[in-house]
Structure 1
């Protein structure tokens, strides 16, 4: 009963959002509440909601200050040199622009933080997409796939870190076998980018494209970079922030709060101007916080009501007794829908240990289950419980339904390719 109700809740949420019957904020809150009432757990709703909010409160605070920090950096034109370099290299060719989007997305995803990655990619490429009339959902799709592939696989990226800690694994043993499939999947993302770039090249008006290329050649379309002491300070502060983030010197929210306070003091000296900047950036930050908190409610109800566990158990029950050696492959396939709808905490700490225990009965090491589970991160980066996604959607000014219609078209086949690469390279075994 709970499994059926859980799948029905997920399906209803997707339908309501994609058909635009409800906004993402209302749908992600109301669908699990209705499901809990149907399951007869109405008296527990308050506790379930609070438990869900507890799990995302620090994430919401982190996103608030990350958006404020990078918003300030964008206003200070910190990323203009990167944009200028990319514009010169692209020479106005949509194929080069889209492939460049994929390459930069893959590189910046190495830092492990989704919000940072999306901010950097959007600051570098979004003005170019808008100038040429290219579809910004292409940028969002490539950025999400890159984040799910790189940050979702590396031991310092957050998702795999949960699996390593939950299953008590050695990070090196886990990761060394994933380097090959991760690299091959990255090439697949670049290939998708090349194809999407070709499509955009044919869609763009020829005269507009020719005019843009002339503007690049003349230098008119290239941002003017004024490298004063504040730009050097901002660059050093951002680099220091990234280093401290990777080294995990302190909680991310603490790092971003302190960095924002320092950056605000250096770049905006007047108190009145500081307040105005915060008001401007709050327009981007508050909707993100609302959606993250709503996603926490979704996860809290689905988990505490038992729907998530029931869905996982129902999926495991499908595996025939004689197919025990196929558990890693089945885990990888199961990771796609579960990763899409579930928070990483609920997935890695609730579902993956159950799968690892089942695999252990067939002599399969937990490393393979962790690797298989990481493959689902591509679709997780496109799902409603991925907090950085709401930042990305705010930057490209798109709603969840429109984004998922475009992103899933490519995210699903790339995820399946990731599974195939993992099997081919022996990262997960099927015999």
Structure 2
């Protein structure tokens, strides 16, 4: 009976998240509470489960809040602007260079872990170049999406934080062994960008030979002659601090260094960094509060979701529902599949992005798979890495990504065409990265 209740709980949460009827916070909090009551647990005991769950994720919440605020401030000061402008100036006129430059710019702008700010910076800056060279704007979305997905492996982005909450592990500790995978992925993506740039160059050459084939692209290219609107959310020049760029760079590099070193907790690192960055760049207290208010919604939203996940996991684990469901699923599944269930989930991680939200994948599927494979002697971290690497590359091919809808709106593109253009490249890249992670011993 406990397994049936657990299964219905997970299915209900997944269905509600997919339907968009409720926010992740509501589903993660209310559904397991109702399930625990139905299973016969008293309210006082459910409260204890909640406390245990919150205790397991509080360090993740602290890190998320201050990391998002810190990198938001760094974006405000224009820390990355000179680098981005230099890359853009170097890539003009060369299709292959533009493709490679897109990857580099996408990676740098996604250092704050925010897909929305990444697209707000990259699309307006690069779209006119793509259109002028008659490159497909869908290639722009593919390359920026892949680059941002790779950068999503940083601990202050969403997926690693969610996985850390599920496993009860500091996201920074999860991230460190993934750094070689991240670096390998960027090298692979740069090579893919060269290949896709050559492919795009040949396509453009064919258009020159057969002008009648370019009709579909001309509809998008027509926007080149129209003035580009300044997207909401881009920072004004009054917030830039060009004279402090080297000091801000030193702070940012020090933060990354301390995170990799691991000598102090990641949340504390970002608290110190934010406390230094704010008064250095904005001495006026009102300006400091204004910057915090600007970035607080993103920080608090992620923090609230992680706290909701802590409540969900605390109740599901405290009641024994997760253990019961895992045991019964092992009895049902074919014996030869069970030890490799995490691998199967990883390989099909990108297709799962088309039908599951990020929250559903990490908070509903990951705990169950982790419970099942650890009973077969598989390390829980290995199981998590396999599912993370397999799924994370598909972040910006998913219709459940709000940032992707923003990107489509900025570029004037369609979701269906984007998925058709990008899906198999993204899935193939994901599987190739899983193989690389296996070869270098991460999984």
Q: Give the TM-score band, short-chain normalised.
A: 0.5 to 0.7
Q: Map 1:192-203 to 2 at 5 A.
A: 202=217
The alpha carbon displacement at 1:269 in A equals 1.1
Q: CA deviation at 1:273?
A: 2.3
Q: Is the 8 A contact 1:375 1:418 kept in 2?
A: no
Partner of 2:264, secondary structure, is coil
Provide the C-alpha distance between the structure 1 equivalents of 2:94 and 2:10, rounded to a whole number of angstroms.
Answer: 40
Q: CA deviation at 1:30?
A: 2.1
- The reply to whether residue 23 of structure 1 matches residue 23 of structure 2 is yes
Kindly state the Cα deviation for residue 304 of structure 1 after the two structures are TM-superposed.
2.0
**Cα distance in 2, alignment partners of residues 340 and 331 from structure 1:** 17
Separation (CA, whole Å) in 2 of partners of 1:28 and 1:192: 43
Q: Deviations over 1:279-326 (max 9, x none)?
A: 2232332223222222222222222222322333233324545x3xx6
Aligned mates of 1:45, 1:266 — CA distance in 2: 46
Residue 331 (1) aligns with residue 342 (2): yes
- CA deviations on 1:141-177 (whole Å, 9 max, x unpaired) are 53564256x669xxxx8969x99x9xxxxx99x9999
Question: Does the 8 Å contact 1:103/1:190 carry over to 2?
Answer: no
Structure 1 counterpart of 2:150, from 129, 146, 155: 146
Contact preservation (8 Å) 2:389, 2:430: no
SS in 2 for 1:205: helix
Whether the 8 Å CA contact 1:241–1:259 is kept in 2: the answer is yes
Deviation per CA, 1:56-75, whole angstroms, max 9, x where unpaired?
A: 22222211111221221122
Contact 1:64 1:289 in 2 (8 A): yes
User: Partner of 2:411 in structure 1?
Assistant: none
CA contact (8 A) 1:79 1:123 kept: no
Task: Decide which moves more: 64-73 or 133-142.
Answer: 133-142
Residue 202 of structure 1 and its aligned partner are, at CA, apart by 3.8
2:376 alignment partner in structure 1: 358
C-alpha distance in 1 between matches for 2:184 and 2:438: 8
Are the counterparts in 2 of residues 341 and 383 from structure 1 also a CA contact under 8 Å? no
- Mapping of 1:1-16 within 5 angstroms? 1-16=1-16
Aligned counterpart, 2:73? 72
Q: Does 1:61 align with 2:62?
A: yes
The corresponding residue for 2:270 is 256
Per-residue CA deviation, residues 82-134 of structure 1 (Å, 9 max, x unaligned), is: 321343355499997777555666x679xxxxx84524x76555323256497
Q: Distance in 2 between matches of 1:55 and 1:240?
A: 27
Residue 292 of structure 2 is aligned with which of 259, 268, 278?
A: 278
How far did 1:382 drift? 8.9
Would the alpha carbon gap of residues 315 and 297 (structure 1) be closer, same or farther in structure 2, given more than 3 Å must change?
Answer: same
C-alpha change, 1:180 and 1:347, in structure 2 (3 Å) is same
Q: SS of the residue aligned with 1:7?
A: helix
CA distance in 2, matches of 1:327, 1:428: 20
Q: Would you say the 8 A contact 1:98–1:193 is kept in 2? A: yes
Is the 1:79–1:124 Cα contact (8 Å) retained in structure 2?
no
Q: 1:206 aligns with which of 221, 238, 251?
A: 221
Distance 1:181 1:95, change over 3 A: closer
Deviation track 1:37-68 (CA, whole Å, cap 9, x = no partner) reads: 22223523212222222222222221111122
Would the alpha carbon gap of residues 355 and 24 (structure 1) be closer, same or farther in structure 2, given more than 3 Å must change?
closer
Deviation at 1:21, TM superposition (A): 1.6
Q: 2:3, 2:324 within 8 Å by CA — same for their partners in 1? A: yes
Matches within 5 A, 1:280-359: 280-321=294-335, 323=336, 328-334=339-345, 341=360, 352=370, 355-356=373-374, 358-359=376-377
Q: Which runs of 5+ in 2 are unaligned?
A: 129-136, 170-174, 204-215, 229-236, 408-414
CA distance in 1: counterparts of 2:263 and 2:301, whole angstroms: 29
Change beyond 3 A, Cα 1:261–1:68 = same
Distance 1:378 1:209, change over 3 A: farther
Q: TM-score, normalised by structure 1?
A: 0.64
TM-score (norm 2): 0.63
Map residues 14-413 of structure 1 onto 2, 5 A cutoff: 14-43=14-43, 44-89=45-90, 91=92, 116=111, 118-119=113-114, 123=117, 125-130=119-124, 132=127, 142=146, 145-147=149-151, 202=217, 205-209=220-224, 228-321=242-335, 323=336, 328-334=339-345, 341=360, 352=370, 355-356=373-374, 358-359=376-377, 371=382, 373-378=384-389, 381=392, 410=423, 413=427
User: Does the CA contact (< 8 Å) of 2:62 and 2:267 recur in 1?
Assistant: yes
Partner Cα distance (2:99, 2:275) in 1: 35
Number of residue pairs matched?
377
CA RMSD of aligned residues (A): 5.5
